[in-house]
Amino acid sequence: MCYNRLVPIVKCCFCGKKIYRSNGRINENRKFSHNFYCSSSCQGNYLKRRAEFICENRICNKKFERLHSAISTHNFCSQTCAAIINNRKFPKRHPKFRICKYCSIEFRGLNIYCSGSCFRKGRNKYSLEQLISIIKSAARERGRAPAKRELSEIAEACVYRFGTWNKGIKAAHLSPNRSDNNRMYKRAITKANDGHLCDSISEAIIDNWLTNNDINHKRDVCYPSTRHRADWGLDNGTYVEYFGLAQDSPRYDRNIQVKKELCKKYGIRLIAIYPQDLYPRQNLKLKFHGY
């Protein structure tokens, strides 16, 4: 941008022609770093200026032109060449093979089904009567309403057929384990085989496992110098906690962190159990390995 301090004369940024502009316009252009043009034609030609490059893909090495406004740190002649180089520099992780839930064919991806066709067929695989029969059968085996995570093979079909898992449980004339109106679980006081009262079905499963494996345990053991209680305390001083609502409630997550810090402070060994350790497959043997 060229201008004369004494006379309001500036030069066209493209052709160099002298043009008159008011002091106000000059000051405004200086403030916003704008150029001066004698005409819209010169402005268009200036913006259409191009620079010549050689494609950074060495296999290609094609010469091409690019607008000054489109110049970047790395310049390629096409999206194909850009993809070739970027995929070499930053290789993507290929997803592992999965087995389609409907047709059992192996495929790569993050979905449950290999195709949209299998997805639609999988949702309609079970009739209403079949779903209710499976739920009732599972309830008879467990002596309670099954959790969604325990019947993952029909969970999606139930949600599709009934709207929600709890509605499917109610259709089978059973009482849901979880609240319909909020994200927090209702406390379902359940008695374990050894007589311990547990706050949920999941806690009863853990308590029964401890009993069946001859691991002596006490319920609701206090943490030192605090009112916090652990779900179980073992004979060797180990505390066992079932964090069933992890990542479901911010307040609950804060309590988890407090308990972990207390264990670290007092040198207490903590065995933390999460829903994925119980559902869909029980993994307690690995959790208590070396006890």
SS3 assignment, position 186: coil
In this structure, the answer to whether residues 196 and 228 fall within a common structural domain is yes
In this structure, the answer to whether residues 283 and 208 fall within a common structural domain is yes
Q: Domain span at residue 42?
A: 2-47
Question: How many residues are present in the chain?
Answer: 291
In this structure, the answer to whether residues 71 and 98 fall within a common structural domain is no
In this structure, the answer to whether residues 39 and 60 fall within a common structural domain is no
Is 60 exceeded by the pLDDT of residue 42? yes
> How does DSSP classify residue 149?
G
In this structure, the answer to whether residues 37 and 54 fall within a common structural domain is no
In this structure, the answer to whether residues 75 and 160 fall within a common structural domain is no
Give the residue-averaged pLDDT of 75-84. 88
- pLDDT value for 264: 93
Q: Where are the alpha helices (DSSP H) in 143-242?
A: 152-162, 165-171, 201-212
Q: pLDDT band for 274, please (50, 70, 90 cuts).
A: very high
Is 70 exceeded by the pLDDT of residue 291? no
Give the residue-averaged pLDDT of 14-24. 83
Cis omega before residue 280 (within 30°)? Answer: yes
| Position 214 in a domain | yes
Is 50 exceeded by the pLDDT of residue 179? no
| Position 184 in a domain | no
Is 80 exceeded by the pLDDT of residue 266? yes
Tell me the CB-side half-sphere exposure of residue 174, using CA atoms within 13 A: 24
Name the average pLDDT for the chain: 84
In this structure, the answer to whether residues 64 and 104 fall within a common structural domain is no
Cα–Cα distance measured from residue 207 to residue 195, given in angstroms and rounded to the nearest whole number = 10
| Position 55 in a domain | yes
| Position 201 in a domain | yes
- pLDDT value for 268: 93
| Position 275 in a domain | yes
| Phi-psi label, residue 214: left if phi above 0, alpha if psi -120 to 50, beta otherwise | left
Q: For residue 259, report the phi and psi dihedrals to the nearest 5 degrees.
A: -65, -40
- pLDDT value for 31: 82
Is 90 exceeded by the pLDDT of residue 209? yes
SS3 assignment, position 219: strand
One DSSP character per residue, 229-280 reads EEEEEETTS-EEEE-TTTTT-HHHHHHHHHHHHHHHHHT--EEEE-GGGTSS
In this structure, the answer to whether residues 67 and 111 fall within a common structural domain is no
Neighbours of 226 (CB within 10 A): 11
In this structure, the answer to whether residues 156 and 228 fall within a common structural domain is no
Give the residue-averaged pLDDT of 148-170. 86
In percent, the amount of the chain with pLDDT more than 90 equals: 21
- pLDDT value for 190: 81
In this structure, the answer to whether residues 272 and 228 fall within a common structural domain is yes
- pLDDT value for 184: 44
| Position 161 in a domain | yes
The domain tally of the chain equals: 5
In this structure, the answer to whether residues 264 and 278 fall within a common structural domain is yes
Please write the tens of the pLDDT for every residue from 215-265: 999 999 999 988 899 999 999 999 999 998 888 777 888 899 999 999 999
Lowest mean pLDDT among 107-116, 163-172, 216-225: 107-116
| Position 181 in a domain | no
In this structure, the answer to whether residues 240 and 222 fall within a common structural domain is yes
| Position 123 in a domain | no
Please write the tens of the pLDDT for every residue from 119-142: 888 888 888 899 999 999 988 888
